[in-house]
Amino acid sequence: MLRFGDDVQASDREFIQSAASWTQRYWGQPAGSVTVYAYTTLDALLYAFTQDCACPSQLSTYLTLFRSELAFPGHFTTTAQGAMLVWVYSEGWRQSDRMTGGAYDRLRHLTHTQFHSIQRALGIGRTDPPWIAEGSAEYSMARVMAANGRMNFQAERASIASEVASMTTKLSDLEERTFQAPVRAPYALGFLAAEYLASKYGEQSILTYWRSLGAILKPRYDRGDYAAVGAWQEAFGQAFGLPVAEFYRQFEMYRAGGFVLR
């Protein structure tokens, strides 16, 4: 479901619609349905969304999100329900026009955020480590962009691998949101980890992880347990069939070998 404000121009509707349908088409039915709200004022955006979800108490949460760094460059964010909110023509939207590549950067951000919507719709909550959350969103962005002729996947991968070459951070250092490492670390190392998992266990195993996480968390949330201790590790084991610690060991070996996929 896509809902637009009347004053969103046709070309921008088409742009948002394309990004949403590309991500959906790439991952297929298991990704669930896409819900996007695109409006030109924050008031209209939050009004439309809260009317549908009947959650006015969350209004201040999303206002804060949009004003914080959590909302990727200030014009996209995802809700706990997995809907994507796009603040069209906002400062962040206009800024991304001024970046090198203009609409290209916005398309990167849009497809990246689209995968966060899928994560949240399937996995509920945000209890997952930054390397999985950001890494799989970056991986999805690159696959989706490449599938639609907007990116050379191998060139993107090579640039990320060279970025990682100067990092000493380990994947296991990126489990907490308060990680001590370069800000790009969960995106770059996480991208390579997601690609490695997808190539070893199949593309859909990434979605299986998020679905397993949702299935583990739902009964806990229903009984008011939001601590989610051990949930993502359990989901990881279900989706990929090995403990996280073993994966970290394998990944660092793969890294030492120069990220050569077999």
User: Interface with Zn ion by CB under 5 A: which residues?
Assistant: 134, 137
CB of 86 to Zn ion, least distance (A): 15
CA 215 centroid distance within chain: 19
CB of 72 to Zn ion, least distance (A): 6
Nearest residue to Zn ion on Cβ basis = 137
**Whether the Cβ atoms of residue 214 and residue 231 lie closer than 8 Å to each other:** no
Instruction: Name the residue nearer to Zn ion (CB basis): 6 or 69.
Output: 69
What are the C-alpha distances in Å from 47 to residues 37, 43, 53, 77? Answer: 10, 6, 10, 15
Instruction: Name the residue nearer to Zn ion (CB basis): 134 or 173.
Output: 134
Could you give the strand order of the β-sheet that contains 36-39, starting from the edge strand earlier in sequence? Answer: 2-4, 36-39, 84-87, 76-78
CB of 140 to Zn ion, least distance (A): 10
Question: Any idea which residue has 């939050």 for tokens?
Answer: 46
Q: 71 by DSSP, 3-state: which?
A: coil
231: DSSP letter: H
Instruction: Name the residue nearer to Zn ion (CB basis): 134 or 195.
Output: 134
Instruction: Name the residue nearer to Zn ion (CB basis): 4 or 62.
Output: 62
Strands (E) in the chain, as ranges, are 2-4, 36-39, 76-78, 84-87
CB of 127 to Zn ion, least distance (A): 15
Instruction: Name the residue nearer to Zn ion (CB basis): 40 or 78.
Output: 78
CB of 98 to Zn ion, least distance (A): 21
